[in-house]
Structures are given as C-alpha cells and as structure tokens.
Amino acid sequence: MWGVWLSVLDRVESVGPGSRPRAVVFGCAGLALTPDEAAFFRESDPLGFILFRRNCDSRDQMRRLVEDLRASVGRPDAPVLIDQEGGRVARMRPPHWPAHPPMGVFGTLAARDPAAGREAAWINGRLLAHMLVEVGITVDCAPVCDVPVEGAHDIIGDRAFSRDPAVVIDLARATADGLLAGGVLPVIKHIPGHGRAFADSHAELPVVEADRAALEATDFAPFRALADLPLAMVAHVVLKAIDPTAPASTSPIVVREVVRGPSIGFDGLLFSDDLSMNALQGDARGRAEAVLAAGMDVVLHCNGDLGEMRALVGAVPGLSGAAAARWERAETMRHAPDPADIAALTTRLAELLGRAGT
C-alpha cells in the first residue's frame, strides 16, 4: 500500500471530467454555487463535496445546491457529505428540519434500558437518513465513536454516546445501521479516538498522554468493533504513546500500526478530518501533502475558501489503487432507502425518549 501511495504522490496528475476524480472533498462558500466555484470544481474534479450550516437554508435551496455541485463535476453520483449528528452538531436545523438529540441522550436511555437505547439509536439514524436523502445528501459524518474521559475538552462531550466503550459500540452500530437502511453512508469518527483530548482540535493540537494499554482498552475498542463499516474520519490528535511527533492524521505510524493494523484493523476509506482546523501546521498544500503521505485516502477541506482550495489541489492525486477500491466498496453498501413509515418512527422515537425522561 505504501509503495502505491508514494508512486502516486510522485506523479500527481491532471484530473478533470471524464478521468478519475481527485482524492479530495471540498466545501463551498454559501447557499448557492458561484460561477468561480463551478469553474474550479469542473477543472479540479473533486471526489465530492461537504456542506455546513452556511450552505443550508431550505429544502429547495439545498436540492438546487446539491444538484449544481454534482453538475459542476459532471457526475450525478458524486458524494455529498454533511455533519448531521444531532444536538449542537447539526447543519440542517429547525424550522425547516426537525431537531435531533445529541448522541449522549441515547447513551442515557441505554443506561436505563439497553434495548430501548438500541432501538432509539436505530430509529434516529433512519430519520436522519430520511432528512438527508430528501435533499440529495448521501454521506453523513456520523456516528461519533469517541469515548470521553473525565475532564476531557467538551468538544466531544454529549456528541459521544457514553464513557463506556461497550455502550458506544452498541449504539454506534445501531445508528450506522439506521443510516444505511435509509440510503446514507455513515462515517465513523474520529478514528482512532478523540475522547481523551483535553483541547479542541479546531483551535489547537491535542496531545493524549494515555499509555498504549489504556488506548487499546477504551479509545480503540469502538473502532475495532465497527471496522467493517465503509468510511472513517481520522482525528487531528497526537497519541503520545504511539507517535509523539505527529497527529494521527499525519502519522504513518498511527495509520499503519493502529488504524490499519491489528489495534483496529480498519480497511475502509479514510478521510482526513478538516484540513482547515488549527491543529495542523503549515499552509493548505502542505497539510494536504502531509495527510496523504500518512495514508489518508481522501483529503477533506471544508471552509469553502477558494484560494486555499486552489493552492492545495495540485498536491492531490486522482483517486486510484487501494483508495479507489475502498470507495467503490463503500458505494456498494449504499442503496435506495428501505420502505419506512417516517411518521410512525418519529412518534416511536419520541415515546422512547419521553419514557426515559430524556
């Protein structure tokens, strides 16, 4: 695998419509695609796109934006991603879309009634998928599989299901299954674990001091149990016991020994976390080069800054080899939504959460 990546990086090629898409997912600036953005996407041909709160106003507006993004690269199946977890991480919000609870609520329910927690998590995933598919989104950057510890930064907090890895495994699996049933691919995050971080990687680089045994027993456990899922996002977090010099997203050691190795054994497609985050050093191009050299399959650049996207795109190769095979395998897991009574599921979810007092 490493030889394949090094040879690809040595010959970064021109990529355009009709050839392999480039191994990058880009954001855009606003509610509609600008002519400059459309021209850049047409020329650079990214694998797909990711939407944020700044891109979400109404159903009709989002459908148009998603259609225009796909039209810009000439691929009606280009993936469109979003972080729609529920709670404070929800790009699509009321009044146009229903509010969903943070994942911690399902952990609270599961602590009282594991079967009810599992059912509620599945229904929640299925309802999230319904909301996303309505506007053309095909990938949800969820569920969060991190295991927080006492005193950790609240950047994860109630986004996590529980501090118990077994509960995280159970509820993350149910959520992923619900998303898949609704025709949306889940992205497990933030592999190999962000729960011990005492800093917010959006603002600075967290360094985790825990020893390898503790990491294996807690942080890595949910990702190991869910390693059959197709997509994962890699954290900008230093695991000092494994590689004290680089965050997981730019560490070939962490990727080789932990993420791809026996500690987790994940062989799906790896997205970097957002290159725009302040945990990383250097300019946009250098960050892209670093995550690709570490073994990421696809670069994620989210802030919609066209100048930054132009600066980094030449460092990103076409999606090929093992990375292309992983994406193709992920796509085989996505299908048309299974039939569902959305109103009945909505009522049942409210009943489960209400019964538990959550």
Looking at the predicted structure, is the pLDDT value of residue 30 above 80? yes
More confident residue, 227 or 16: 227
pLDDT in tens, 292-348: 999 999 999 999 999 999 999 999 999 999 999 999 999 999 999 999 999 999 999
The Cα–Cα gap between 346 and 224 comes to 31
183-195 pLDDT, tens digit per residue, is 999 999 999 999 9
On average, the pLDDT of the chain sits at: 92
Residue among 191, 355, 184 nearest 270 (CA)? 191
* Higher pLDDT pick, 3 / 214: 214
- Residue 15 in this model has a pLDDT that exceeds 90: no
Which strands form 269-272's sheet, in the order they lie side by side?
A: 188-191, 231-234, 269-272
pLDDT per position as a tens digit, 74-100: 999 999 999 999 999 999 999 999 999
pLDDT tens, position by position, 43-76: 999 999 999 999 999 999 999 999 999 999 999 9
CATH, domain range 27-355: 3.20.20.300
What is the pLDDT, as a whole number, of residue 2? 35
- What token pair was written down for 268? 């799906």
Q: Which two tokens stand for residue 120?
A: 């509620």
Number of H helices, E strands in the chain: 13, 13
**7 Cβ contact list (under 8 Å, min separation 6):** none
Residue with tokens 């997203």: 249
Contacts of 55 (CB under 8 A, 6+ apart): 27, 28, 30, 31, 62, 65, 91
Please compute the mean of the pLDDT values over residues 200-222 and round it to a whole number. 88
* Average confidence (pLDDT) over 10-21: 52
Which pair of tokens denotes residue 42?
Answer: 């047409």
Average pLDDT, integer, range 196-217: 84
Q: Of 292, 348, 351, nearest to 322 (Cα)?
A: 292
Q: What is residue 11's predicted lDDT score, i.e. its pLDDT? A: 31
Residue 296 carries which side chain, given as an amino acid letter?
A: M
pLDDT in tens, 162-185: 999 999 999 999 999 999 999 999
- Distance, in Å, from the CA atom of 74 to the CA atom of 46, rounded to the nearest integer, reads 11
CB count in 10 Å sphere of residue 53 = 13
Query: Binning pLDDT at 50, 70 and 90, where does residue 6 land?
Result: very low
User: Which residues are 137's β-sheet partners?
Assistant: none
Return phi, psi of residue 289, to 5°.
-60, -40
pLDDT score of 200: 63
Q: What is the rounded distance in angstroms from the CA atom of residue 5 to the CA atom of residue 315?
A: 13
Q: Is the pLDDT score of 10 beyond 50? A: no
Question: In angstroms, what CA-CA distances link 138 with 26, 159, 273?
Answer: 15, 21, 18
Rounded Cα distance, 233 and 58, in Å: 27
pLDDT at 145 (0 to 100): 97
Percent of the chain with pLDDT over 90: 86
Which letter does DSSP use for residue 245 in this model?
T
Enclosing H/E stretch for 80 = strand 80-82
DSSP 143-175: -B-----TT--TTTGGGSS-SSHHHHHHHHHHH
Q: What is the pLDDT of residue 1?
A: 32
Residue 134 has pLDDT above 50, yes or no: yes
Alpha-carbon distance of 280 to 269, in angstroms, equals 21
Q: Residues 6 or more apart from 191 whose CB is under 8 A from it?
A: 145, 223, 232, 233, 234, 235, 248, 259, 264, 266, 270
Residues 6+ apart with CB under 8 A from 258: 192, 220, 239, 242, 248, 264
Q: How many residues does the chain have?
A: 358
Catalytically active residues, by annotation: 202, 273
